[in-house]
A and B are shown apart, each in its own frame.
Chain A
C-alpha cells in the first residue's frame, strides 16, 4: 500500500507543487540578487516617506508597481530588509503584495463571473487593510522581536560598520564582476529559500495524499463542506483549507469560486488569509522572521481576518442581492 500507492501519489503531488512554485521563487531570488549588488544600502528607505505611518500605507500598495506572488516576495523582502527597509514596511509589502496587485485582481475578477468587481475589489481592499494594520502595529515592536537573530545580527554589524568604517568604495575587481556576484547571490538565496520551500511542500503533499491505510478515509473537503452554515466555523474552515492547500495567489480565486456552498465572507477570508499565511509560507517566512513572531502573526491573521469576514458578511452578502440567479431556484412542475 505504502510503496504501491502512497509514495507515487505523494511524489506526484510534491513535484506538481515544486514545478509550480519554484519558477516564482527563482524570479524572486534573481531580483533579490540584483538588489544585493546594484541597490545601495538605504536607497529604498530614502524613497519612502519619512513619516513611518505613511511609509506603511505606501508599502501596502507597492504590489501594484512590483507585482509578485507570495513565493517570490519572500526573498525580495529578505534582501530589502538587509538593505535598510524598516521591517514594518517590509512585512506590510510582504503581506499585501500577493493580493494588492493587478494579476491577482484580474484573476479574481475572472473567477467570480457573477459579481466580479465586488469580489475582486473587496479582496484587494480587505488584503490591503489587514496588511496595513499589521504594519502599523509592528511600528511599535522592536526589530529583535520580529526578525531572526541572525538577520538582526547582520543588520547591527552593518550599522556599526557604517558608523566606524569609512566608505572605501567598490574595488575594481568587484565592479568588473558585478553580474557574477548578482547571480551568485541569487543562487545562494534560491538554495536558502528552496530548502524551506521543500519542507513546506512536503507537508502540503502529505496532507493532500490519502493516508496509507486499508479502510477508506473521509476526504478533507467533506469535513470542510459540513461547516458552510456555521457563522464562525465557515471562515475558520476555509482559512484552514487555504493554509493546507498553499495555493498560488494568482489563481486561488478559481478554487474559491467553486466553494459556493459558502457565503462570500468565508470565501473572502480564504482569499485573503491564504496568500498571507500557508504551510509553505510558514517555512519561507522562517528564512527571515523569528519563529515566535511567525506564530503570533499566523494567530493574529487567523483571528483578525476571520473576525472581519464575519462582521462584514452583511455587506458581502449584499453583493448578490440584486443579482439573483435567473433560474437557480427549483422550478414549479
Chain B
C-alpha cells in the first residue's frame, strides 16, 4: 500500500466517523438533546452523506484516477486539482480521536453546574415579547387560546410563564391562574429557599444547538412536604401562578403545587399535544 492510498483510507475513516455521530444520535432518539428541531433532518442527512462519501472513497482508495504523471504541481488541462498530501496523524488525532472520546464521555445532557451556568436560577426579562401581538393581550385572549385540563387548569408552557414576569400588566393577567406545566424537576437554590418548601421546574431552550441553550426555571412552592423525586425527573406540575419581587425584580412561580412524574416528551423543545 502506498502513502497516498493509506492517506485516502484514513481520510475516509475520519469522514465516516464524523458521519456516524449524527446518525447514532438520531437513531437513539438523542438528537433532540443536541440540536433544535429544525436541524434534525439536516444533521441526519449530513451524517448519512458523510458515511456515503467516506465509504465511496474507501472503496475507490486504490483506484488510479489521475492522468498518470507526477501531480506535485498544478496543471491546466481542464481542471487544476491540487494534490497535496494530508497528514494522516492530524486526521486521526484531530478528527477521529476527539469524536470518539466525546461520544464516550457525553451524558447527552448538562450537569447541574452547567444548568446553573446557563441561567437555571436567573430571571431574565424580554420586554418586547408581548408587544408583538397585534391586538392587546387580555385575560379573555389568554382563555381563548390556551387549552385547559379536565380539572380546569390552563396548559401553559414553562417559557410562557417565565417571560410573563417581565411585564406588570401581563403579570396581572396571569396572577392566580390555575395552571399545569411540564418540565424537569431540580432542587431550588438554597439562598432562594430558606424554608425548604421549594423545588424548581426547568426546561432547556435552544435556538440552534446545546451550546446556545438557555435554561429557564420557575420555582414550585409546596404547602405540604417536598416530592421525593430525583433531580432531572420529568414531571407535570399543577398549582396557581404567582409572582414575587426579589431585589427589585419580578419572578414567576407556581404556588400550592402538586407534581407527578411523567414520560419525557420526544424532544426537549417539543410541546406535548
Contacts and interface: CB of A to CB of B under 8 A. Distances in A.
Interface of A: 4-5, 7-20, 22-24, 26-27, 30, 36-41, 82-83, 113-114, 150, 154-155, 157-158, 161-162, 165, 167-171, 173-174, 177, 180-181, 183-188, 190-192, 194-195, 198-199, 202, 204-205, 208-210, 216-217, 219, 221-222, 245-248, 251-252, 254-255, 257-258, 260-261, 323-328, 330-331
A15 B106 contact: yes
B211 interface: yes
B214 interface: yes
Interface string B206-236: 0111111010000000000000000000000
Contact of B114 (A174, A210, A257): A210
Contacts of A154: 74, 82
B14 interface: yes
Contacts of A23: 22, 42-43, 45-47, 49-50
Size category, B interface: 35 or more
A258 B214 contact: yes
Residue among A4, A8, A154, A254 with max Cβ neighbours from chain B (10 Å): A8
Contacts of B8: 184
Given A245-B211, A255-B212, A260-B127, A198 B98 contact: yes
B117 to A, nearest CB: 4
Nearest to A14: B102
Interface string B81-119: 110101000110011001101111111111111101111
B57 interface: yes
B81 A191 contact: no
Contacts of A13: 210-211
Contacts of A155: 74
A82 B80 contact: yes
Given A12-B210, A36-B81, A327-B170, A198 B94 contact: yes
Given A9-B114, A255-B212, A195 B167 contact: no
A15 B102 contact: yes
30 contacts: A5-B112, A5-B113, A5-B114, A8-B111, A9-B110, A11-B106, A15-B102, A18-B21, A19-B39, A19-B47, A19-B209, A23-B22, A26-B50, A26-B53, A41-B80, A82-B80, A82-B82, A158-B75, A158-B80, A174-B79, A183-B57, A184-B8, A184-B65, A187-B57, A190-B53, A191-B11, A252-B207, A260-B128, A327-B137, A328-B130
Interface string B51-69: 0011011001001111110
B35 interface: yes
A277 B195 CA distance: 48
Contacts of A326: 131, 133, 136
Given A22-B18, A155-B74, A190-B15, 9 more contacts: A9-B113, A23-B50, A26-B53, A173-B67, A210-B114, A251-B207, A258-B126, A327-B136, A328-B130
Contacts of B126: 258, 260
A208 B213 CA distance: 10
B73 interface: yes
Given A202-B98, A327-B136, A247 B53 contact: no
A188 B211 contact: no
A157 B53 contact: no
B165 to A, nearest CB: 13
| 6 nearest CB pairs, A to B | A23-B46, A325-B131, A177-B65, A16-B210, A11-B102, A158-B74
Interface string B178-201: 000000000000000000000000
A12 B107 contact: yes
Contacts of B122: 222
